[in-house]
């Protein structure tokens, strides 16, 4: 974690130029947060929405004759649902209503379209603008859209409520996780840093924000598979300041709060490695920290146990429920950094953290 204590878009191939962009006038969207969408000539999915909303984006790989899908869920139901013929790699686009209170924008791609979900990120560029880079699909991605999405003139959104998400569909293996009563508990997961604040940067350019967001999203998915309601303070690369993180937790009625970070010292000190978890004052918070620390240590052989320690970090000092902050290792450490950079190890970290949280909830 950097001194601030604060709080993923590959370069693609160029699109075929000169193809007409397909736009039509949008009707009034009664209650829906979606104002307009398009796949731009630059190969980006762009959205215009109501300001300061929470949206989520999902990916699902296709099977058989069904191609892969990306979809975005927004608050408010559309005035009408419809299916829009696609072009190029996009088979069709659907505007739907998964619940009476939601709008869903679905991009269904042709079977066999090569999409790497690890490269997908939905990023807030302003209070009412969002962007996902699809340039890696190359010339098969044809401009398409509804409504008028002009480039946002507002500055990059650096502060506000949690607003975007990217969640790969296809559950992690939760079969070995501890059982707790379904629907009984609510947990807040806080992946530190985000957006223009990368947190600590270590060996090989490893960024804390990337590590903790990946682990945090997986922890949330694992807990949800066990019937725990999960709130995330951020779910994509946006910078959420510390007070909104605390406010989200304190207003949620959550049973637990866990802030997820990675440590750093100096690139000149790769000998410094280790796991540590912090709590503030209460015995319940200390027990939570201990439960998480034990599980993370168990899957990190050779990384020193730096202990369960009292700390005064804002997010654990100002939250009203049992709270802890875990440092999963040093991005500058010769032992920890290669592990944190490995997707398989981050998966094990997520399972370990989820196990610690479920153990603690089950013992209450």
List the catalytic residues. 327
The dihedral over CA atoms of 174, 177, 235, 184, expressed in degrees to the nearest 10, equals 110
How is residue 4 written in tokens?
Answer: 């601030």
**Structural contact between residues 15 and 45, judged by C-beta atoms closer than 8 angstroms:** no
Q: What gap in Å lies between CA 198 and CA 205, rounded to an integer?
A: 11
Q: Compute CA distances 176 → 173, 223, 358, whole Å.
A: 8, 12, 11
Q: What gap in Å lies between CA 225 and CA 303, rounded to an integer?
A: 29
**What is the C-alpha radius of gyration for the chain, rounded to an integer number of angstroms?**
21
| Residues in the chain, total | 364
Q: How far apart are the first and last CA of the chain?
A: 30
Q: What gap in Å lies between CA 281 and CA 191, rounded to an integer?
A: 22
How is residue 208 written in tokens?
Answer: 């804390």
- Nearest Cα neighbor of 74 from 148, 150, 9, 165 is 165
Q: What gap in Å lies between CA 72 and CA 327, rounded to an integer?
A: 31
Chain Cα centroid distance, residue 142: 27
Q: What gap in Å lies between CA 309 and CA 306, rounded to an integer?
A: 8
Q: Compute CA distances 57 → 22, 84, 299, whole Å.
A: 23, 19, 30
Q: Which bin fits 138, alpha (ψ -120 to 50), beta or left (φ > 0)?
A: left
Burial of 309-336, coded b for 16+ CB within 10 Å and e otherwise, reads: eebebbbbebbebbbbbbbbbbbbbebb
CA torsion sign, 311 to 316 to 322 to 324?
A: negative
């Amino acid at each position: 974690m950097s001194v601030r204590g604060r709080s993923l878009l590959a370069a693609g191939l160029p699109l075929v130029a000169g193809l007409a962009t397909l736009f039509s006038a949008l009707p009034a969207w009664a209650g829906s947060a979606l104002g307009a969408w398009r796949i731009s000539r630059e190969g980006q999915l762009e959205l215009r929405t109501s300001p300061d909303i929470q949206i989520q984006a999902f990916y699902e790989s296709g099977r058989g004759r069904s191609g892969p899908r990306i979809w975005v869920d927004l608050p408010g139901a559309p005035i009408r649902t419809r299916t829009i013929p696609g072009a190029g790699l996009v088979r069709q686009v659907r505007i739907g209503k998964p619940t009476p209170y939601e709008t869903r924008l679905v991009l269904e791609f042709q079977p066999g379209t090569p999409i790497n979900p690890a490269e997908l990120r939905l990023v807030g560029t302003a209070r009412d603008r969002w962007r996902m880079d699809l340039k890696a699909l190359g010339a098969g991605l044809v401009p398409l859209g509804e409504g008028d999405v002009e480039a946002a003139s507002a500055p990059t959104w650096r502060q506000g409520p949690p607003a975007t998400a990217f969640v790969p569909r296809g559950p992690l293996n939760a079969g070995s996780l501890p059982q707790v009563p379904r629907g009984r508990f609510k947990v807040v997961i806080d992946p530190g840093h985000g957006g223009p604040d990368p947190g600590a940067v270590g060996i090989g350019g490893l960024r804390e924000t990337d590590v903790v967001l990946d682990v945090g999203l997986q922890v949330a998915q694992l807990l949800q598979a066990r019937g725990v309601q999960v709130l995330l303070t951020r779910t994509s690369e946006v910078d959420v300041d510390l007070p909104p993180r605390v406010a989200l937790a304190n207003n949620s009625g959550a049973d637990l709060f866990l802030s997820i970070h990675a440590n750093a010292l100096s690139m000149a000190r790769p000998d410094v490695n280790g796991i540590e978890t912090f709590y503030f004052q209460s015995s319940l918070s200390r027990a939570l920290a201990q439960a998480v620390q034990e599980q993370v240590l168990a899957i990190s052989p050779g990384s020193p146990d730096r202990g369960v320690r009292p700390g005064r970090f804002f997010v654990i000092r100002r939250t009203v429920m049992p709270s802890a902050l875990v440092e999963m290792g040093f991005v500058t450490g010769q032992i920890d950094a290669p592990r944190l950079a490995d997707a398989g190890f981050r998966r094990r970290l997520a399972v370990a953290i989820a196990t610690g949280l479920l153990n603690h909830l089950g013992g209450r």
